[in-house]
Structure 1
C-alpha cells in the first residue's frame, strides 16, 4: 500500500489504485495524510472541504466520507500495513507508517542527499526523490485555501530539490544536465529570479551564452510588464558576468555554498603530490606495508608504481577453457560488448538453470581477452550448490595472487583483503567473472576498484539490487532458437548425423525446450550409441511422464540443476511452484496461480515475483507468466498428490471468471447458471469493468480454456468441462465462424456422459446455431430438434425458448417459414412467462426477420418495434443494430425509402461503433442497393476486410 500526495491524491495497492471517488473525499484523505499519525479536528477538516460557510450537515458529510475511506482501506488490506483510520473524540487520525507516504519518502531522500560527500550519490538520490512526483501536489482535491497552502509548500520543496540537483550536477561539471533540470521548473516559475539566475549560470557554463542572455531578457520583460520592476541584483550580476565573459563562481554570486560537497581528493594532505614527491621536491619514502593494510590507491595521472608486495610472475588468467560446441547467442554477446564499453561496468547475465549462462560468460571472456591485459579472473561462487558458497577470503585468496600478491602477504581479514583487491585493480584493465552468484551483496564485496575494469556476473536470480545500486546492465538469457539448438547437437554428434535426420533433430530441440543443458544431455546419450537414431530418442522424450528421466546422464541432469534453485525458495514460493506444475494451460496470472495454490491473488503475485526473480517463471507481459516446459514437468514431480486438488481449483476459477465475463459482456443473457457439485469459489474473481475487457479475456484465454477442458476430461471432471466450453458463448456469438464446432462437440460428449438433459439442451442449442451460421443447415436442424424436449425434461423454460429461437432460424433457412414462425411465437410466450425481456427481445428479433422473409413487412416492423420498446436496459449494441436493420428493410418493402435509409444508416453506425462488423455489413449491403452513390461502398468494403482479417 502506498499513499500519494505528490500528484493525484491516491492510494495504490498491489491490486491497483483504490477508487476514492469525489474531490471532497480526496480532500479529506489529503488533510489526514498531511497530518499523518496526528489527530485532525473536524473543524480543520471542514475548512479543507469548504472555503465559505459550510453546510449545516457538514459533520454528517465528513462522517460519510470517513466511513467510505475506512471501507476502501479495508479492501486494500490496510491492517496488514499497520494503517488505521481512528476516531478520537471530535477528531480523526490516520495512523500509518510514514514510509507509506510519498511526501515523507521525498523529504527523507532530500535529507540523505544533503548528507552525501560524493555529488554522484547526491544526484542519484535527488533524481529518485523527484521521480516520486507524478504531477502537481494534491491534484484532484477541493481547491480551498487550506489545501492550496499545503500544495504550495510541497511545491516549494520540489523547487528546492531541483535547485539542489542542479548544484550537484554543477559540482560534477555536468552543466548541460544542470540546465536541463532547471529549465522546466524555471519555465513554470518565470518570475522567480534565483531560478532564472541559476539557469543562466548553468547555460553559460555549458557554453550556451546566447541562450543564457536570452533567458535574462525574457525574465526582465516579464518583471517589467507584469510587476513594473527591474531585475534584482542577483540576476543583473550574473548577466554582467556573462557579458564580460568572466568565470562564474561555483554556486553563482551571492548564493550560499553548495551543500553537496565535491568528492574528497584521493591523497589528502599538504605534503604529498601525485608523483610521490614532497612539497620541497624530494622523494617521499614508500610506506611500509604490513599484513592487513590496504594499498593506497595510485593517483589518476602519471606512471603507476606497483607496491613492493606485487610479484608479476604469478598467473593472471583464471578462466576455465572455452566451452566446446558453443553456438548462437550473437545478440547476447553483442549486448555484453556494448555494456562493457561503459565506465566501470557490471554486466549481469541471468536466466533459468541450464540455459547456458556460464558458457556465454566464458565464451565472451575468451573472445575479448585482449581487452584485459592486466588479468582475467574467474570465481565460481556456488550460490546454488549443495556444497555451499565459498567464503569471501577464499575467493580473494585466488584473486590476489593472480594480481601478483604472494599468498603469505594476503591479509587475513576479509575487509582488508577486499580493500587490497580494490586498490590493486584501481588503474588496471581487468575482467572479473563471478559465476553462479546468489545475491547482490556477494558481488559488491568483489567489485574491482578501477573504471577500466569489467565485472561479468552470472546468476539464476535477477539480482535487482545490483541493477538498482550499481547500475548493472542486465543481459537476460532465454532458450535457444531451434536452429541454434540443432547446431549445438551437431557440435557434439557431428553434422552428418544431424543432416541424416533433420526433422528428428529439430523435434529433439523442441522437446528439450531449447535448453542447452537438456540438449547436451541428449547429445551425450546419443554420442555413445551411434546405432541409435535421433527419432527413437525423440519418441522416448515425447512422453512427459519420463522425459526428465531421459534428461539425466552421470552427474549432469536438468532435474538436479533445477533442484539446486528450488531448494532455496521460501515456503510460500515453493508451494506456489509445486502447484504451477499442475496447471493445464500455457500461461497464468495471479488469479489463476491463486486458484492452483488455494491462496489469494495478492499472495500468488508475491510468490510469482519470487519465482520470476529466480527465473523459474517468466513474465511475458504485465501480470502474465509462463513456465518453461521442462520446469513445468519438474514442478509437477515435487507434489504429485496435489494434482487433482490444483486442477479442480483452476477449473472452478475458470468457471467463476467466465461467468463474470459472460455477465459483463451480455448482461441478462447468461446461458449457464448452475454450478457443478462441490464447486469451490475462488478467493477472488477478476472484475471486468466493461464488455471490451470481458471479451478480451475470453479471446486471450481461449487456448488455455481448451487445454483446461482436455485436462478436465482426462480427470473425469466432465461437469466442469462442458461448463467451461459453454460459458464462452459471448465469444462464440461474436466470432461464430471461428472453428468452434470441435470444442462444442467435446462439450456435447461431456454432457451426454453426465446424462444431464439441461447440459445437453444448452450445448445442442449453441452447437446447432453455430452449424447453421457455418452454412450446414441439415446438421444444425438434426441437433436443434433434440434440444427443446431435453430443456422441457430439465425444467429449463428459458433454455427451451432459446432452443426454439435457434430452431426457427434453421427452419426458416430451410424454407419452412410457417413452422419457424410458430417456433418463435412459442419462444416469446415462454420468455414472457419467465419475465425474461432479454430472451423475449431475441425471439422478437428473429420473428421480425422471418416475417420479413415471409413477405409480411408490417408485421416485421411491429415485431421489431415491440422488441425495441422493451427498453435500452435489455439491449446490447449488436442486437439493436440488427433490429434497426430489419426495421429499415421492412420500411423499404413498404415503399418508405427515406425512412428506411435513416434506419439503415443508424444501424450501420451503431454496429461500427460496437465493432460488430457482420451487422455493419448487413445494413450497408442493403443501403448500397438503395443508395449506390452515397459513399457507403468504402465503409462496406472496410467492414468486409475486417471480418476477413479476423479469420
Structure 2
C-alpha cells in the first residue's frame, strides 16, 4: 500500500443483538493464538447448514479481534450460494481487494495469476484479516489466500471445504444449531426477556418449532417485534397450525425466506444426492444408518455412503454418530415438500416399502438371535433393491436393536399410516423381546396398539392374536391389568380358532405371569400348566422348558416348594439342551426365590449370581433389576447389610433409568434400611 493510504476496514457492521456462541468464539481464539499449545492457524473454515449464523459469527468475531490486525480487514461476499446463481469469480474478488489496497486501476493486472502475485506481494509481512464469506468451493478460495503467516483468513461456507483443510492446513470449525439457552437469549434480545418469561411455554414451543435455527428464530422474532401486542401463544399457534411450517418462516425476501435459503444449497447437489435428500423425507424416525438409506434409495451401500457424504459436506444432513445421519425438522419439511412435488406417488410409495422391508427383514433376523425360541412372522424374500443387514450373533443383535429401536418404533407407526398394515404388525412383533428386556413398556404398548389396529384393518388374524397377547404383556407391566386380562382372553380365543398351539401356549404362560402379580396364584398355576401341556403337544422344547419354570414359580408362590424345585430343575435340563440362555437366567432366578423361601439364603445368593451373570451378558435390564432386588433381600437376611444396600441401589438405578414404577418400592425399602442409602440411590 502507498504511504499514507487509508487502512482498509471492510467488515460489515456487527449485529448488536449477537448472543451465545461462547464455545465457538473460544475455539476461534484458541486456534488463532495457539492457546491450546498448537500452531497458530492462518486460515479457518466456518461451515454449517443454511441459516445457522455463520456470517454473523464470523463478522462478530472479526470485529472482536480487529485490533490484532492493525494493517486492515478485507471482506468479500463470494456469493457461493446466491439465489441468482451469480457466483463471484476469484478475479472479481481480487480486483476489489487490490483496489482496497490502493492499487490504481491502471496497475491492475489483467490475468488471474498476475493478480494473485500482486495481492500476495502487497500482503507479505502485513498483519491483515481477510474474511471470505459464503464460499462455494476451494477453487473459489485458493487464489484469495495471502500466503503470508502474518495474515489470517476466515472463510464461511455451507460446504465443509475439506480440500482447504487438507491442502492448506485450514482449521475446520462447525457452526451448529443454537443450544436451547442460546435460542432463548436470541429471542429475549429481540422480544424482551419479560415477554418471554411471561409466556415460557409459548416461547419454548417457538424455539422447538424453529429447531433452534437462528434464521428461523429471527423471522419469528421479527414478526413478534412488529406486533408487540400479540401474545407469544399466538405466534406459537401460527407455527403449529400452518400446514407447511416453512410458509410461516418467510421473512419477506430471499435472504430471510427459510425455504429459499435451503434451496440454494439443494440446487448445488448432484442429481443422485438431490434424490437421496428428497427420499430421506420418506424415512421414519430420528436418524438413519447407511444400510437403511441404501435400501430406501434402492442403491448399493458404497454409492449411498458417498451421496450421504455429499449431503453432509453441504450440511443438509448431520453425521451425529459414525455412520448415522440426521436432518432437523425444518430440513425434513423442506425435503418432504420437494419429494411430493418432484417424485411421482408410485416412486415415493416404493421407496417407503423398501425402507420398511429393510427394517422388517433385519429386525426379524435380530429377534431370532435374541430369542431363539421366538415365533417367526413368516417373511418372503427381500424385494429387489433392499439389502438387509447381516446380524452375526446375539451381541450384534443387541447392539443393532439398541441403535435402531427408536427408528423401529417410528417405522411401526409410519407403516400403519402409509397403509402397509402387514409391515406394521410384523415389525411390531420383532420388537417385543428387546423392548421387554430393556423395560421400554410405553413404547411397547404404543407399538402393539398400532399393530393390533393394523392387523384388524386387513383382517390378518395371526397378527391380531399376537398383538392382543403382546399388548396384554406390556399393559400388565405398566399396571393396566384389567385391560391386559381382556387382551389375553382375546388372544387365547384367536389362537385357539387358528389351531396355533404354540401361540396359545405363549399366551397361557404370559397370562399366568399377570395372574401371579394379581396374587391369584392358583389361577396362575393353572395357566402355566395349560401352557406346558400345549408346548408338549407342539413339540416346542424351549417353550416347554420356559413353561416348566413357570409351573415351578407358581408352585413356589403357593408354598409348594418340592414340586417347585422339581419343575425348575427339569427346566434347566431342557434349557441347556436348547441353549436358551434367557430362559436359563430366569430359571436360576426362580431357584433363588425358592431357596430364599426355604430359608437357604446362601444357596439363593448363588442362584441369583448365576442368573445375573447371564442377564448382564444378555442385556436384559429389567429382569436384572428384579433379580438384584431379590438378591438384596437374601443378603439382608444373611446379615450382609452393606451388601444388601449396594445391591438395592444397583436395582434402583436400573429401575430409574427405565422409568419403571418398581423404582418406588426399592426406594422405600432403602429409606427403611437407611436414609443415606436412599439418597445415594437417587443420585
Per the shorter chain, which TM-score range?
0.7 to 0.9
Q: Is the 8 A contact 1:909 1:920 kept in 2?
A: no
1:768 aligned partner: 472
* Partner residue in 1 for 2:359: 654
Return the alpha-carbon distance in structure 2 between the equivalents of residues 494 and 947 of structure 1. 43
Q: Is the 8 A contact 1:911 1:920 kept in 2?
A: no
Q: Deviations over 1:49-79 (max 9, x none)?
A: xxxxxxxxxxxxxxxxxxxxxxxxxxxxxxx
**Any idea what SS the aligned residue of 1:674 has?**
coil
Q: Is the 8 A contact 1:725 1:747 kept in 2?
A: yes
Question: Is contact 1:797–1:830 with CA below 8 Å preserved after alignment?
Answer: yes
DSSP 3-state at the match of 1:950: helix
Point out the structure with the larger helix share: 2
Give how far 1:858 is off. Answer: 3.3
Provide the residue aligned with 2:505 in structure 1: 801
The question of whether the paired residues in 2 share the 8 Å contact of 1:908 and 1:919 is answered with no
Return the alpha-carbon distance in structure 2 between the equivalents of residues 448 and 426 of structure 1.
Answer: 8
Q: 3-state DSSP class of the match of 1:456? A: strand
Which of 334, 343, 346 is 1:634 aligned to? 334
Q: Does 1:582 align with 2:288?
A: no
2:238 match = 540
2:47–2:172 contact (8 Å) kept in structure 1: yes
Contact 1:881 1:919 in 2 (8 A): no
Moved more, 407-416 or 511-520: 511-520
Query: Residues 605 and 631 of structure 2 are in contact (CA less than 8 Å); yes or no, is this contact kept in structure 1?
Result: no
| Deviation per residue, 1:306-337 (Å, 9 max, x gap) | 7xxx4643562222222353222232222222
Find out whether 1:437 has 2:437 as its counterpart: no
> Residue 413 of structure 2 contacts residue 450 of structure 2 at CA under 8 Å; is this kept in 1?
no
Q: For the structure 1 residues 366 and 736, does the alpha-carbon distance in structure 2 shift closer, same or farther, using more than 3 Å as the test?
A: closer
Residue deviations 1:852-873 (CA, integer Å, cap 9, x gap): 3344433333322322222525
* 1:248-327 map, 5 Å: 310=2, 312-313=4-5, 316-327=8-19
Structure 1 counterpart SS, 2:144: coil
Q: Deviations over 1:240-266 (max 9, x none)?
A: xxxxxxxxxxxxxxxxxxxxxxxxxxx
> Is the partner of 1:616 in helix, strand or coil?
coil
Query: SS of 1:479's equivalent?
Result: coil
Are the aligned partners of 2:191 and 2:225 in contact in 1 as well (CA < 8 Å)?
Answer: yes
Answer yes or no: is 1:618 the counterpart of 2:338: no
1:351 to 16, 40, 48: 48
Task: Look up the match of 2:155.
Answer: 457
Contact (CA 8 Å) 1:718, 1:753: kept in 2 or not? yes
CA distance in 1, matches of 2:6, 2:641: 89
Q: 1:886 to 1:526 in 2, by over 3 A?
A: closer
Displacement, 1:895?
A: 9.0
2:529 maps to 1:825: yes
- Change over 3 Å in CA distance of 1:507–1:828 after alignment to 2: closer
Partner Cα separation in structure 2 for residue 437 and residue 844 of structure 1: 70
CA–CA separation in structure 1 for the residues paired with 2:561 and 2:205: 62
The alpha-carbon deviation at position 428 of structure 1 amounts to 0.6
Q: Is the 1:461–1:614 contact (alpha carbons within 8 Å) kept by the matching residues of 2?
A: yes
1:723 maps to 426
Query: Are the counterparts in 2 of residues 576 and 597 from structure 1 also a CA contact under 8 Å?
Result: yes
Secondary structure of the corresponding residue to residue 91 of structure 2: helix
Distance 1:477 1:899, change over 3 A: closer
Give the corresponding residue for 2:437.
Answer: 734
Structure 1 residue corresponding to 2:294, chosen from 589, 594, 614 = 594
Write the distance in 1 (CA, Å) between the matches of 2:369 and 2:385. 18
Deviation for aligned residue 1:690: 3.6
Report the alpha carbon displacement of residue 441 of structure 1 after superposing the two structures with TM.
Answer: 2.8
Instruction: Indicate how the Cα distance of structure 1 residues 592 and 323 shifts in structure 2: closer, same or farther if over 3 A, else same.
Output: same
Runs of 4 or more consecutive aligned structure 1 residues displaced over 6 Å after TM superposition = 891-901
Whole-angstrom distance in 1 between the partners of 2:77 and 2:233? 37
Aligned to 1:275: none
CA deviation after TM superposition for structure 1 residue 454, in Å: 0.7
The answer to whether the aligner puts 1:688 opposite 2:391 as a matched pair is: yes
Offset, 1:448: 1.0
In the TM superposition, residue 883 of structure 1 has moved relative to its aligned partner by: 1.9
Alignment deviations for residues 462-491 of structure 1 (CA, whole Å, 9 cap, x no partner): 111111122111221112234433444455
2:668 maps to: none
**TM-aligned CA deviation for residue 912 of structure 1:** 5.3
The alpha carbon displacement at 1:408 in A equals 1.0
TM-score, normalised by the number of residues in structure 2? 0.86
CA distance in 1, matches of 2:595, 2:145: 83
Question: Corresponding residue for 1:703?
Answer: 406
Counterpart in the other structure of 2:631:
924
From 115, 118, 131, the equivalent of 1:417 is: 115
* Higher mean C-alpha displacement, 702-711 vs 353-362: 702-711
The partner residue of 1:787 within 463, 485, 491 is: 491
- Return the alpha-carbon distance in structure 1 between the equivalents of residues 296 and 242 of structure 2: 20
Q: Structure 1 residues 419, 561: closer, same or farther in 2, change over 3 A?
A: same
Q: Closer, same or farther in 2 for the Cα pair 1:917/1:943, shift >3 Å?
A: farther
1:384 to 63, 67, 81: 81
Call closer, same or farther: CA 1:312–1:645 in 2, change over 3 Å: farther
Look up the SS of the partner of 1:755 in the other structure: coil
Post-superposition shift, 1:785?
A: 2.0
Work out which of the residue numbers 747, 765, 770 in structure 1 matches 2:451.
747
CA distance in 2, matches of 1:357, 1:701: 32
1:402 Cα offset (Å): 1.5
In structure 1, list runs of 5 or more residues that go unmatched: 1-305
Shift, 1:422, TM fit? 0.8
What is the SS of the residue equivalent to 1:562? helix
The reply on whether 1:551 has 2:246 as its aligned counterpart is no
* Equivalent of 1:360 in 57, 74, 84: 57
Query: Are residues 558 and 816 of structure 1, via their aligned partners in 2, closer, same or farther at CA, if it must alter by over 3 Å?
Result: closer
Counterpart Cα distance in 1 of 2:512 and 2:563: 17
SS of equivalent to 1:432:
strand
Matched, 1:516 2:221: no
Which sits farther off after the overlay, 640-649 or 414-423?
Answer: 640-649
How far is 1:777 from its partner? 4.2
Aligned to 1:406: 104
Contact 1:314 1:401 in 2 (8 A): no
Q: TM-score, normalised by structure 1?
A: 0.63
Does the 8 A contact of 2:629 with 2:648 survive in 1? no
Deviation at 1:508, TM superposition (A): 2.1
Q: In the alignment, is the contact (CA less than 8 A) between 2:601 and 2:635 conserved in 1?
A: no
The residue that corresponds to 2:673 in the other structure is none
Closer, same or farther: CA 327–835 of 1 in aligned 2, 3 Å = same
Q: Could you tell me how far 1:577 is from its partner in structure 2?
A: 0.4
Find the partner of 1:666 among 368, 371, 393.
371
CA distance in 2, matches of 1:896, 1:489: 65
Please tell me whether the aligned partners of residues 592 and 608 of structure 2 are also in contact (alpha carbons under 8 angstroms): yes
State how far apart, in whole Å, the 1-side matches of 2:154 and 2:272 are: 32
**Alpha-carbon offset, residue 655 of structure 1:** 1.6
Query: In 2, are the aligned partners of 1:480 and 1:515 still within 8 Å (CA)?
Result: yes
Cα 1:428–1:315 shift into 2, 3 Å? closer
Q: CA RMSD in A?
A: 3.0
Taking the aligned partners of 1:501 and 1:336, their CA distance within structure 2 comes to 35
2:24 to 327, 332, 348: 332
Aligned residue pair count: 641
Q: Secondary structure at the match of 2:574?
A: coil
Aligned partner of 1:947 in structure 2 is 654
* 1:879 to 1:494, Cα distance in 2 relative to 1, 3 A: closer
2:200 and 2:612 mapped to 1: Cα distance? Answer: 54
Contact 2:632–2:648 under 8 Å retained in 1: no
The 1:843/1:394 distance shift into structure 2, 3 A limit, reads same
Q: Which has the larger radius of gyration?
A: 1
Higher relative contact order (CA 8 A, sep 6+): 2
* Shift in CA distance, 773/501, structure 1 to aligned 2, threshold 3 Å: closer
Q: Distance in 2 between matches of 1:909 and 1:492?
A: 57
Contact 1:430 1:454 (C-alpha < 8 Å) held by counterparts: yes
Distance in 2 (alpha carbons) for counterparts of 1:357 and 1:589: 28
